[in-house]
Amino acid sequence: MGKKTKDYFGNETEVIRGGKWNWKSFKSTEGYPVSSNLLDWVIGQGQALKECYLCLDEWVHKLKHIKKEKWFEAWNDPEKEKDQSRNMVSPGPYLLLLGDPGTGKSLIGRALAAHLTELYNKHKIQLQDVMCWRNETIPSEPKISCHSASEGKRILFREKLKEAKKMFLQKLGMKALVYLMMSVAMIFMFAGFFYVWQEKIRWDLNSSSAMGTPIQTIYEGNFLRFILDSFISIGSTTFLPAGMTLMFLVLIVFLGRFGSMSGAKGVGGAKASNVPKLIVDNSKKAAPFIDATGHGTAQLFGSIAWDPLQTGGLGTPEHQRVSAGDAHRACLGILYIDEIKNLKPDDTVTLLTVLEDGQLPITMRNRWSNAGTAAMAVATEPVPCMCFLVGAGNFDSIGQIHPALMDRIYGYGKVVRMNNDMCNTVENRRKYVQFIAQEASRFHLIPFSREACEEIINEGRRRSNKKDGLTTKFRPMIAILKTAATLAMNDGQRYVERQYVREAIENHCKTIQKQILEHQMRERGELLEIKPKGVRIGQIYGLAVVADPYSGEMTGNVLTVKGFLEKNGKDQENPLKGYYRVTGVAKGEKQNFIEDSVAKVRSVILQKYGVDVAQECFTHIDFAQAYGVDGPSAGVTMTILLCSLIEGKPIRQDIAVTGEINVGVVNSIQVTAVGGLHEKIKAAEAWGFKKVIIPLKNYMHSIDPEDYSIEVVAGETLEDYLKECLAD
């Protein structure tokens, strides 16, 4: 690695976002100018970005035409009839990003939204707020209006102010009526008590009645009878009106309190009022980015909240129960759906309507949609939902996406393949330094030293499985960065050095599948008879991989292959028929590649020595302590083993081999490339082998010998392998 360090990143000084950066002498990522533009964070996806830019240019051209045609002005007035025609809005463009996880699909989606904001400011394209209004004629069909971004909040404030004034006047009038009635009641009550007091004075003075007879004489001195008769006559004109007034006052107060309760918050925090509801708010004036991954129908396309009190007229008003969906909130922005293949068929059909028409009414869209209550029978006018669809998925999504949706994307948009790797050039190694600086800034990590950056780049090269490649699956690389930085910070370091990166890679940042495989190999390795030293006839060590069937994770494995070969004595009068057996390999339906390798080995030996190991010999090859071995990489191992037995030469036990044997042409038997070379070499290294021999194509394409402490030798033909493996 020391030889590479000097010119690994080039020698010039580069101006990056207004700052100078010396690639020859930089010691760490400290001070690297990190961009605030997300598009600059996308690395290794140049072709994908070009396609995205083309789609954005087409999108902006479409919006400029819509602006010229004044399409959104049809929604300015909620009372105005909406244009239902499809001719004014052309479909597309749409974007489908296909690639492996971690290649930056969601990052591109967010970056496009940021870039859209810049384009909108440049071309003076305004985002829209959407408001839902009460329909006085048919309450179950709320009205819709659209306004320039941030205008919706001003309208809402104005309507709330009008409603507050109205409520204030109502409350003021109610209070005035209450105080007036209380005053009238008090006057009647006062008059009643005053008349009673006057009658008490008459009794005390023993005044004469109309007949001239004293009062006390008439009532025979019974004051209670007198005052009771007087109260009846007085109460009919004073206390009775006062009581009725008070009862009416209590009724008014009760109704007033009930009315205030009806204005309390209901579904979605709404109140029982005629104030419109702001269902799409773009007051930030930034092109929206809505991640709708995994969302259900109601979340995608909006719905009507269910209020069980609605049928009694005591619930939340219809227009206040309307909730916009992702498609409406993403209007003039990015609607991002990852794993788009998982969209339900019904949702896909509705999405097609959104993409074609650019507008969609909001109605009940949930598990109650088949019910039939009046609380659910609500549907708005068409709501604008002209969104830029960015779908994403793995390569297996191609055959699983709804055919109609795929047809729209092919017809009106673009399908982009995300790169899994990029060329290992000076420019791209600098991009890796940029990536490291970006993530250090995002996660507030300490800077990485130059040597640590080189080690991370080497890991990116190894993960690309190409000598001249670097992986663009950056998400797993982020785990390495964070872990290495944490290890360094725990040790009180100022910079992340190379040893922390290596420790993170080797000990901390392995997937669970790889951990399980390595654990199984360690447990099994304690029982294996592998001794990489000396020479032996009839035994060779081959290299293989064990793969997880679901994740594709692999780990290396060393196989002990033993052989027996004895001629069948054809010179005798009654020679026995020979046989050719290979044990320890995959059987039955699992026997995929190994059967071909076994057949090719027989032909190669016949071609090289003129000996048919199946007819002229008793031949037995055994993959000792192994079961279910499969794959073409066992071919050269079996061939060398048989060559050793035929020639009587021992095989060096400190060498492990791998490669696919091929039937010879023009006296040359080639050994061709196989997979999993890095894992195989690491396994041989762990067992203490001194040397591994691999196919020349693999050596040139994938392997850097400096990555390993073991000697890695390339072989192009069987003779190359035999020269290294057979001892004199």
Which residues are known to be catalytic? 633, 680
First to last CA, the chain: 36
| Three-state helix/strand/coil letters over 620-685 | EEEEECCCCECCHHHHHHHHHHHHHHHHCCCEECCEEECCEECCCECCECEEECCCCHHHHHHHHH
Residue 518 · residue 510 · CB < 8 Å? yes
Structure tokens at 174: 């109610």
* φ, ψ for residue 674, nearest 5 deg: -135, 180
Measured between alpha carbons, how far is residue 460 from residues 154, 240, 424, 480 in Å?
Answer: 52, 96, 9, 11
Does residue 97 sit in helix, strand or coil?
strand
- What are the φ and ψ backbone dihedral angles of 415, each rounded to 5 degrees? -110, 125
Give Cβ neighbours of residue 524 (< 8 Å, ≥ 6 apart): none
Among the listed residues 625, 638, 653, the one whose alpha carbon sits nearest the alpha carbon of residue 525: 625
Helix (H) / strand (E) containing 723: helix 718-725
CA–CA distance, 328 with 294 (Å, rounded to integer): 17
Whether residue 588 contacts residue 536, with contact meaning beta carbons closer than 8 Å, is answered with no
DSSP code for 395: G
Q: Which two tokens stand for residue 604?
A: 């190669």
Say which residue the tokens 């909620």 belong to: 78
C-alpha span between 661 and 598 (Å, rounded): 10
